């Protein structure tokens, strides 16, 4: 019997002797945008929780075309990369700039280990290109479909206590401003603009290219193994220091955790069986559907099954191993907390979910990220533990995320800009020491608010300000 069939059999056997299934909530939220009378085509993001009806959509494939759109468009303009953000950053009913066609490598400087890519290049596309030049990125997140500009604009990160977000590896970037002019910025040239634009949420201009710092190409060895959650929480500090990359996924109502470590290796490339995350998630959903009426039984069956799982190993090129497929859609909230408060917050989050939200079946993901200097990075001058919670895309996440967000904010968390959160301008001012500097530079580069949508306007240019 295949290992994942074992869980199905266990659940089916239990079902034959047990109780009713849980009826599910199914009301995905929307931005409230509505179609205008002109024939327009809707845009929606990866999970489908953000929708808008732009009057105009442009997909420039050259800098000239991009400049022309900016010079000639009136009204608001928002940029979209791969549409992988869950928050309200992208939607606009005016002009949507789809940046994916502006992609590819501009230049590589092998001695300096830097490479300049057009902004719409995806993270996944950078891997083989850099490898051809003997280079690799320092770190990557757990999917690689995001565009470079989209990823850095929200401080997209992977895991690694000694590694910052992607924004921290930007050496310089070029912005095309509201007036259509190009401005280059880095630590020496327009340095304030650079500190703002490293994590700029698309509010300063359109990023046309990004120069990334890389390192010599390398291979990674993945080691994934299962442990009871209490053991992982007790050992998370040394595990995060002893491994280049360390993260863990706690599976609610099971007591069990999947630990994932990655370390640089010179071993030959080889792959063993990997966890099939997507079908695994649907199995957890099935277990939830039938067993959530009895948390004890659920822990016994699903936790017991997870205890039978063996460890996994794989060696591959760095760019081929970081990212996974995420074929089961979800909505996500993630907060970045000080290292000191991270584990207490996690304990509270687990207790809350297991007490009040039996519908949850997605794991809670915990990662480590190093402090950095971009003004609006959630890792600004602070090492962090990130805690992310998910809900299946067809389910209402509002009540659960609201309950968890209170806990994460109480423990000093700053939200991931690309994920669902309710952080206000006042909270941003308190959480980000450079908030006012960012407001000033945004005002300087986009005085008319061309790059603001209603969400961003509330944050960056509230009417009372």
Cα 102 to Cα 321: distance, rounded to the nearest angstrom = 26
- Which listed residue (11, 96, 108, 143) binds ligand FAD by CB under 6 A? 143
141 contacts ligand FAD (rule: CB under 6 A)? yes
β-bridge partners, 330? 392
Tell me the backbone φ, ψ of residue 223, rounded to 5 degrees. -130, 115
Between 290 and 375, CB nearer to ligand FAD? 375
Footprint (CB under 6 A) of ligand FAD, residues 144-173: 146-147, 149-151, 153-154, 156-157
Q: Is residue 3 classed as helix, strand or coil in its secondary structure?
A: helix
From the list 81-89, 223-231, 236-244, 262-270, the region that binds ligand FAD by CB under 6 A is 81-89
- Kindly determine how many residues on this chain lie close enough to bind ligand FAD according to the rule CB under 6 A: 32
- Which listed residue (33, 70, 99, 302) binds ligand FAD by CB under 6 A? 99
- Which listed residue (54, 202, 358, 413) binds ligand FAD by CB under 6 A? 202
- In the complex, minimum distance from the CB of residue 417 to ligand FAD, in angstroms, rounded to a whole number: 7
In 266-329, DSSP assigns E strands to 270-271, 312-317
- Which listed residue (49, 70, 116, 142) binds ligand FAD by CB under 6 A? 142
The single residue listed with the structure tokens 């990334």 is 212
Between 85 and 172, CB nearer to ligand FAD? 85
Binding to ligand FAD by CB under 6 A, coded x per residue (else -) over 358-397, reads ----------------------------------------
Footprint (CB under 6 A) of ligand FAD, residues 100-119: 119
261 contacts ligand FAD (rule: CB under 6 A)? no
Between 14 and 147, CB nearer to ligand FAD? 147
Footprint (CB under 6 A) of ligand FAD, residues 215-234: none
81 contacts ligand FAD (rule: CB under 6 A)? yes
418 contacts ligand FAD (rule: CB under 6 A)? yes
- In the complex, minimum distance from the CB of residue 197 to ligand FAD, in angstroms, rounded to a whole number: 8
Cα 28 to Cα 46: distance, rounded to the nearest angstrom = 13
Give CA separation, 138 vs 38, 106, 142, 217, 268, in Å: 46, 20, 14, 9, 20
Burial of 346 (C-beta count, 10 Å sphere; 0-12/13-18/19+):
buried
Residue 350 contacts residue 422 (beta carbons within 8 Å) = no
- In the complex, minimum distance from the CB of residue 295 to ligand FAD, in angstroms, rounded to a whole number: 28
Footprint (CB under 6 A) of ligand FAD, residues 287-326: 326
- Which listed residue (14, 49, 85, 174) binds ligand FAD by CB under 6 A? 85
From the list 75-83, 107-115, 290-298, 306-314, the region that binds ligand FAD by CB under 6 A is 75-83
57 closest CA partner among 96, 26, 93: 96
| DSSP for 136-205, written as a single string | E-S---S---SBHHHHHHTT----BTT---GGGGEEEEEEE-TTS-EEEEESSSSHHHHHHHTT-TT-S-
Residue 139 contacts residue 372 (beta carbons within 8 Å) = no
Give CA separation, 336 vs 63, 245, 367, 388, 396, in Å: 35, 17, 9, 9, 23
- In the complex, minimum distance from the CB of residue 164 to ligand FAD, in angstroms, rounded to a whole number: 11
Binding to ligand FAD by CB under 6 A, coded x per residue (else -) over 231-260, reads ------------------------------
31 contacts ligand FAD (rule: CB under 6 A)? no
Angle formed at CA 91 by CA 393 and CA 141, multiple of 5 degrees: 55
Helix or strand (DSSP H, E) at 388: strand 384-392
Residue nearest to ligand FAD (CB): 150
Cα 444 to Cα 234: distance, rounded to the nearest angstrom = 48
Tell me the backbone φ, ψ of residue 409, rounded to 5 degrees. -70, -40
Contact positions vs ligand FAD (CB under 6 A)? 46, 78-85, 89-90, 99, 119, 141-143, 146-147, 149-151, 153-154, 156-157, 201-202, 206-207, 326, 416, 418
């Amino acid at each position: 019997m295949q290992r994942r069939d074992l869980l199905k059999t266990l659940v089916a056997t239990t079902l034959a002797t047990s109780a009713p299934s849980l009826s599910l909530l199914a009301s995905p939220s929307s931005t409230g945008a509505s179609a205008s009378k002109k024939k327009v085509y809707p845009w929606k993001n990866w999970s489908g929780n953000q929708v808008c009806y732009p009057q105009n959509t442009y997909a420039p494939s050259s800098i000239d075309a991009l400049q022309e759109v900016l010079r000639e468009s009136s009204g608001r303009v928002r940029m979209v990369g791969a549409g992988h953000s869950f928050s309200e950053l992208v939607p606009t009913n005016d002009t949507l700039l789809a940046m994916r066609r502006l992609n590819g490598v501009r230049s590589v400087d092998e001695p300096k280990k830097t490479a300049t890519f057009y902004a719409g290049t995806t993270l996944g596309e950078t891997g083989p290109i850099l490898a051809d030049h003997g280079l690799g990125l320092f770190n990557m997140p757990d999917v690689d479909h995001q565009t470079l500009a989209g990823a850095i604009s929200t401080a997209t990160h992977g895991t690694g206590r000694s590694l910052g977000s992607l924004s921290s590896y930007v050496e310089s970037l070029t912005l095309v401003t509201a007036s259509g002019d190009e401005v280059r910025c880095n630590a020496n040239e327009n340095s304030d603009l650079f500190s703002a634009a490293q994590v700029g949420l698309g509010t300063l201009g359109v990023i046309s290219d990004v120069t990334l710092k890389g390192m010599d190409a390398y291979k990674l060895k993945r080691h994934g193994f299962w442990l009871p959650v209490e053991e992982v929480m007790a050992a998370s500090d040394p595990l995060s220091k002893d491994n280049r990359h360390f993260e863990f996924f706690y599976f609610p109502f099971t007591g069990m955790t999947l630990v994932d470590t990655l370390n640089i290796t010179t071993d030959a490339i080889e792959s063993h069986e990997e966890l099939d995350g997507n079908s695994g998630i649907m199995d957890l959903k099935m277990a939830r559907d039938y067993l959530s009426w009895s948390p004890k039984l659920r822990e016994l069956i699903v936790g017991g099954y997870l205890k039978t799982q063996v460890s996994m190993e794989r060696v591959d090129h760095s760019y081929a191993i970081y990212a996974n497929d995420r074929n089961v859609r979800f909505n996500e909230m993630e907060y970045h907390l000080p290292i000191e408060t991270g584990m207490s917050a996690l304990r509270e989050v687990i207790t809350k979910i297991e007490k009040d939200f039996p519908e949850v079946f997605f794991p809670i993901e915990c990662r480590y990220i190093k402090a950095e200097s971009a003004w609006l990075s959630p890792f600004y001058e602070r090492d962090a533990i990130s805690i992310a919670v998910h809900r299946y895309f067809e389910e209402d996440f509002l009540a659960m995320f609201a309950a968890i967000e209170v806990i994460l904010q109480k423990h000093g968390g700053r939200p991931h800009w690309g994920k669902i959160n309710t952080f206000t301008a006042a909270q941003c001012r308190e959480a980000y020491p450079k908030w006012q500097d960012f407001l000033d530079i945004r005002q300087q580069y986009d005085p008319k608010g061309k790059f603001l949508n209603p969400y961003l306007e509330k944050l960056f240019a509230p009417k009372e300000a």
